[in-house]
Structure 1
Amino acid sequence: MTASNGKWQSTLRSGLARWCTTVGSCSVHGVHVERLRPSCPLLLLSGATPGPFYHSHPHDPSQFDHLHFDMASQVRANLKTVRDILDALGDAELPFHLDGGCIERSRRHAQLLHWVSNRGQGFAANARVTADISRAACKELGMGLATTLATFETSGNVSDRRFLIETFAMFGLEGAELGQTAETVRVDLVSQFDAVDEESSIYSVGGQRHFMPYVPAYAVCGPADLALFSLSAASGERSAPRSGEEQVHLAIDKLLRVLSTLGATFDGVALLWNRVADLDAHEEAVLMSRARRGLTRPLAEAVLEVADADPNSHAPDGTPLAIEYIVVAQVPRRRAGSD
């Protein structure tokens, strides 16, 4: 399936529906919020890119010069990272029991989504390579029954403009009990760094220190709902600031306000997709603004530059929107139909 304009959130919803039931929706400060109730713990990943997972932010392109940037190599590298992140779940301290076969069963049924750049040979050619290589690579990596939810066109992919693909994945840990504690449990690739200061999200790798605004994944478990919504600086407003940086800060304000009304906090956010216009101009603000405001908890995240065929919308008064958030957050349960 090749997704088209406006389908990012609906595609995410359709993937979550494999393990969740819809238990209502509501409008919160001009934001439409859908509630989903998982039947098993979920693993929600950051977008995987071909480079080393732990690297500097803002980015240092020299950290990626050793990579192979042909399309086939990038697809294989992303899918190997997806598998490695799932396998790292075995090293995490989880508040639910995970039997020995659960990770293997979950791996077979990965749900994938590819963001493919229109740079290089162009979107159509890059997407064909992605589809061809994914089939063989998934089989080799033990993900032979994987579902590709969609392939989206992007203009630039974060970290390095030589990167032509970013791959999202999610897994339902079927067979595992939800657990008695509602938590979003951070999952790290512990073999790939020497030390981490979790309060500041600073990772030490080979004598270098890297600030990371995102983590490999969150395991979401326990008696809670998931809130799925999108917002921008214009949500519930007639206009938005012209400045992209101001829009980012206003989107953060709106995110915190929605969470508070739902009885949650920023600690409940598991997944954040950033749809960004003009990534070269806005990347630094998107990557760094939360931390500068003290929100240093990293997320399972993807930052993508929207293509001309799939642009961000405008505020009602016509102001172009530089940033749109698509969010999955854990929130306290409400009765089905109570919204």
Structure 2
Amino acid sequence: MTGLPQTMRAMRITRHGGPEVLEPAEVAVPVPQAGEVLVRVGAVALNNTDLWTREGAYGRPGDPEALSGWRGPLDFPRVQGADVSGRVVAVGAGVDDALLGRRVVVDPAIYDSEGPDARPVGLMGSERDGGYAEFVTAGANRAHDVTDSPLTDDQLATLPTAYGTALGMIERGGLREGETVLVSGASGGVGVALVQIARARGAKVLAISSGPKTDAVREAGAHEVLDRAKDLGEQVRAAAPGGVDVVLDVVAGDLLSDGLPWLREGGRWVVAGALGGYGVAFDVRRLYLHNAQVIGSAMHTPTHFGLLMDLAREAAVQPVIAGTYPLEEAPRAQERLARRDHVGKIVLRP
């Protein structure tokens, strides 16, 4: 790695806790192994998974209150950050030198196989070091060339987790043109992505948000914005008298418990988050008597991510940036993310 520094700035966690456990550190620049590339980070976007990984809030099978990372106990210290855009500055053995200098977006998922429909079983920033640093390594096959995209580094960095999760939900839910879709948490990163992609798919988009954020969610592409502070059932029935075809839900909790009857015959409820709580109860008769489906969706597959990168190259989606911070202000950026008073994505610039 001639010409590159030997050390770099990074923000690491050495234990679970609040924003104060994010600590600056001077660490060795990682060396790309065989089949890997080294990426100079241009931007790294924040996600709820950053908060939950730092807090250890994922729980474990049989012990939902256990401190845990995305898929189990963390190896500390850990550099956080799943969503990286940047440029390839070095390659490992067996990697084509043509990648050097190319602008890339990194697929942060660690998959259970190499197939196109592989499932994520780990995440950069949780199960391996991520992008809260000046450099990060990634598999060459996970570094997608977006050199010609008109999107900025900040915009590109917002795509992997939020838009990847959104596209995975939409694909698994089988959303079709002309269907009516209901999006929860529509002002967040995944929510805005769901609104934009569902609208681009030709769906009628109903979005749940709060009053002050209504205009921004509508600008993202929602046909109607429903106020979560009012009677949602009444609003859904007024906007979709025949019922909803697909619910794309990052809230769960009481929303799923109360809202299952909003689905029309054969409707699909896709869950990719639990902002409203993970304990859910509903009348199972509503599920089987109406051929409804409740579908879990964790991030994306390699196929989904390839489709997302096609959208990025064409700038077919326009990510909304809520704010940018220097790397050392990661604790403050995470505090802002936790307040949920913004629309769009928050980005760090190393």
Query: Normalising by structure 2, what TM-score?
Result: 0.28
Q: Which has the larger radius of gyration?
A: 2
